[in-house]
Structure 1
């Protein structure tokens, strides 16, 4: 990651200066504008060095709606990156289409709104300054104009290959009006397309089938930062909510424990540390435990290990490294191991019953799909990269028991659902694209009746969509559920009693919704849980 070098700033008065175009906006129709945020220099890399939630959400919105790629949020190399409150958005100033994309975002961010508020979206986001293509605008200065950015001549140092967005603490912590307004007006988004916010797994739930009760247990983070639990009974609908507190963020990872008949739940704390609790249907939530030795970002992925009766947990570190630890109910967390890898977002980890190992897939910071594996005896294996297609968001990998391979689904930078596979002997297969106009992260589930894969994703229009993948013939057609506008990433689980799929998603008012998919008849009706709001 390239970060802001020490530089001399001088006023630029040439025709090359970047200007902001006015934006159409309804006067007086939204919360009061935020003031300009003061500049607070970063202190050191040990003080809260994890990706702050406001920066993560802004990154997700930019990449999913506008393109480009993530150059990183955290790095011990200087300035706000040291505290996880700066984003490097990768675009090349010498590529006309990429330069135009950046200009569109800057025009939107720095526009004067209909109430006469200059730099309206930058203020609502809590942006302190922006650097792009050898120029900088300091919104904390009295002179809020673009100035020359003196640099070392390199593409990274001069910010010709990325935009550097520096956040104030208020913006980084989602305390400014862009983050607190609910809902947001459409023009508050850089593509002006409305309130679908594909923040990967921030507004998403985790669901697990309970074979004892033949119901689905659902875990999610509330807007208050508390871990929440409810259940879905196909006969009676949603159950009551219970809260574990916890101060967590993003989607939790929940796993059924077949020994105890309970659920082990892992989540990222607001302080960046991995946390664990459990849910027992008879007694409710257990106590929290925190792993205090390494900070992580995004959503962890936990997988049950049937050999050791423990849980293997994978998460992306603040340095972009894939990390592994484990949880044993009797003794707690184990030690960390790092695979490196330069990855971002949420990994997808799957148990391999043939080798008794774990195959892990993640999106690289360069946008390419990556794979490694974890063996309890020897640790991480080597990385492999699929270099032919860039993806965005988190991949969804599923074990194929027929071929003993892994089918992987991910959304491309063009909004198309894509499929590839991984064979331990030969590596990645070729890509196939389903189109679909989808965003965020897909949820793929193996269908043991048809030996195919059912895939669910959110459309760019906020609709819930479904397709399937058959190894012999490829993707099927798309189907769209009606009656709800959803955000975030859906999560689906196979229902062995009905041979159908139960699908959970958060709707646009941040309440949990449920529908189902039956291969013979398509989507069922929607049901909505009570007034608990989700998306911490």
Structure 2
């Protein structure tokens, strides 16, 4: 039974990259007293500092993880605490009965989009002494965690060595590089010869020994820092999040062992031949060893977004809104959403309010258009192009800072599939008007005046094209995707208003959703196969190619729209139009 209650309030003990350190803090609870040199007094917690805010902004982070552990030892208590809009937070940390009296370190970390995993945990520790179980302290339940999000690896089963293939596996090597690059230490090796010792994942190249000295306070602190990061609950409520994402199966250190396949045991005594006081042992699952895990694919799946009571500001999408077009119409760094129904009485522009929430703005278009968005005048605000292939009047709504639109009349003659992108890198969006089988296809190059200058290209074949800066050179390219066997080609944009072709092979019959999902300034592609169809992420590389990884997107959504709705530099995915009305916003 948990009998010791520790209360943390405010911005206490919080340091994250680019945020200010905390000046002071106090503790409460009858079984805690501050160590003599901590300078902490009183009850409750008060702290000076910026709170859990995104670096350089006033937007609150996703949560605070608070851990209690001995110096260099395992975590004995942990809690994930929600963050208020002002970045401050309060919650409880419950210490289990029977906790050994000793000096413990209380540390907290702010979880927010873009957190630097290569420098995983930056703590501002405070030292407290557990003096006993207390007398009359109120029992308390641990704070309830958010249900685990989809898209993260489950807790593993035990996958012991079954063959001998002592070659270094890719995921194991990446783990070694990650740890030593961040924290240093010695490399005690990955592989082990088949004729040495007993069963060991070293013999399959999926175990690594990190040289650390348990008698060194510096080394113990480094181990604690990394292990706590591995086993912490993330901002979405996923327990042991990074260990799962890396495929960690178990850890041995300083006569103790933590089994990811039996987490109820916690840190249990280890009585093997080696006490592991000179190194930390990591064994990985086979997927972890191979690098087939979400940490290395950089695909982080968010849970379904839970809207507030004002569902129109969440993602409870009206099933009559059948077209969604994203764009940053007011230039605040967060993508907004235009919801359009041809012929409908009311259309909606959702202006992003941060944190995946939106403020509704009613509009009325009425006619039947093919609508698309882009910054056509180079003012760093996206505009809306209303293209009517029939008799409807064409126009551009130019975005403004006050969330109004200025109207600009244009004329398009013909029936086309418009492809939008900044193909020449001049910071104004261009449009290629594609019509399968046409002898030539016009290109309109945008200018800072919201006008266009034109020329033509010729496209042979029938495609489902889409645009994006796949190689990250600042100029958008065109992916000519031909499902069903047509040859795929990427046209790479150049400064001279020309394209250079490169053959690719998608091998999919799926909906292509381009977006920068990992924030590296290169466009990636989600291949979404509705229902039972296969899904995949292709991550763009500097040479214009892709690195692929499979993924499972549950549901059969009619529409998938990418946009950076929370302004963190990574595009998010809005799934809407599911027959069961389970609209979702996945934030990366």
- TM-score for the superposition, normalised by structure 1: 0.33
- TM-score for the superposition, normalised by structure 2: 0.31
Structure having the higher strand fraction is: 1
Give the structure with higher Rg (CA).
2
Between 1 and 2, higher relative CO (CA 8 Å, sep ≥ 6) is seen in: 1
